[in-house]
Amino acid sequence: MANVVVVGSQWGDEGKGKIVDWLSERADVVVRYQGGHNAGHTLVIDGKVYKLSLLPSGVVRPGKLGVIGNGVVIDPWALCDEIGRLDEQGVVINADNLRIAENATLILPLHRELDALREAAAGAGKIGTTKRGIGPAYEDKVGRRAIRVMDLQNLDSLKAKVERILTHHNALRRGLNEPEISADELHGQLAEVAPKILPFMETVWLLLDGMRRAGKRILFEGAQGTLLDIDHGTYPFVTSSNTVAAQAATGTGIGPSALNYVLGITKAYTTRVGMGPFPTEQLNDVGTMLGERGHEFGTVTGRQRRCGWFDAALVRQTVKTSGIDGIALTKLDILDGFDELKVCVGYMLDGNRIDHLPAAQGAQARVEPIYETFEGWTQSTAGARSWADLPAQSIKYIRRVEELIEAPVAMVSTSPERDDTILVHDPFED
């Protein structure tokens, strides 16, 4: 049985929630492997809308096991709130359908505060963080002072860990003219939340190894997009974790040989939330129309997304950095009715043509897109479930996208409904 990794091939918000839900019905285990509650998935199941930020998408389906891997940073209070919201919608979350890696790092209230303080102080240099404490939590993880899930087991030994992390953070707070945090207060907050989190604790790498050996289908669910990767994205306007497909291995403890197929979720146009370069952005009627038709607002932040034409040069780049085997092309129906469509095939930089986005921040800001123009289509693609349902011109658009990004289209999504999907290749049958 193949194990499938789902990654966003752009800047996130590509429609991963629907595709992961579609795939999760065929999987036994759905695993989150990076990020935190700064990324959101919206699922529409039988007309009911579920908004998830931290929980794996599979938890809304009976009989599926959801796993949060060690590569995720977990705000335990936000997790409890999310579990509570799902409970109100009739979805029960317990140790039967959710496990959390014992070595996952916790996001603390001090991380959220520091995130907001830094962003407010940055002025024009702000990077568009969601202010949920993700970055500071990853900093503490790398700095080897983080509080992890397993630390909640022993409240006596937790005291020394709390004092260690506060040695660092109280020094920062003094520098920002903020009051210091009481070790007793933080310890008390963690002691209170511990009984709500510990029932889910698991040695995840061992669990997944057993599942793999038993022939279970495992779906690895990424958050955000490859272009937000801390190493391979548009730095510094990126997230604080690796979002490329390889993180599915390190973020769960499963070996890379267990990752059989990488599916890149790819929007038929391009969007971005927050700051940073965006070569094909359309600050005009086209961008407005794409945003209105696509309901382009962030699931977590509610912020309006920036919109522009499809950037094949960027997706071709992420196909390579994430080892994408095939893409799921989403929101094709949003392009219905345009007289003409444009696709970026490369860039001009200081008078020279290049075929990828450079790594340097200054160069990224200076590139100019090179476009190919396509005839649009007037017929609707909304709800199409087979190639025969698609206008001929839309198929030409898809075929040219495949050529430009150097990867095949495995699936086409034509509406938020899970069944409005054209399956070309089943990733689980690879």
Catalytic residue positions? 13, 41
- For residue 239, what are the contacts with CB-CB under 8 A and spacing of at least 6? 35, 38, 134, 135, 224, 228, 229, 230, 233
How far apart CA 107 and CA 120 sit, in angstroms, is 20
Q: What are phi and psi of 411, to 5 degrees?
A: -150, 150
Q: Residue 223 is encoded by which pair of tokens?
A: 């958050």
One-character DSSP codes across 147-180 = -BGGGGG-HHHHHHHHHHHHHHHHHHHHHTT-PP
DSSP state for residue 284 in the 8-state scheme: S
SS3 content of the chain, % helix, strand, coil (to 5): 40, 20, 40
The DSSP-derived string for 25-80 is TT-SEEEE-SB-TTS-EEEEETTEEEEESSS-GGGGSTTPEEEE-TTBEE-HHHHH
Q: How far apart are CA 342 and CA 281, in angstroms?
A: 12
**Would strands 4-8 and 261-267 be described as parallel, antiparallel, or unpaired?**
parallel
Whole-angstrom CA distances from 313 to 192, 280, 281, 318, 357 are 49, 11, 14, 9, 8
DSSP-derived letter for residue 267 is E
The CA–CA distances, whole Å, from 423 to 201, 237, 342, 402 equal: 36, 34, 25, 15
Count of CB atoms situated within 10 Å of the CB of 44: 15
Q: What does each C-alpha distance from 354 to 279, 322, 348 come to in angstroms?
A: 13, 21, 6
Nearest Cα residue to 34 out of 6, 14, 58: 6
Query: Distance between CA atoms of 363 and 220, rounded to whole angstroms?
Result: 34
CA neighbor of 268 nearest in space, from 359, 211, 210, 332: 332
Distance CA 392, CA 134 (A): 45
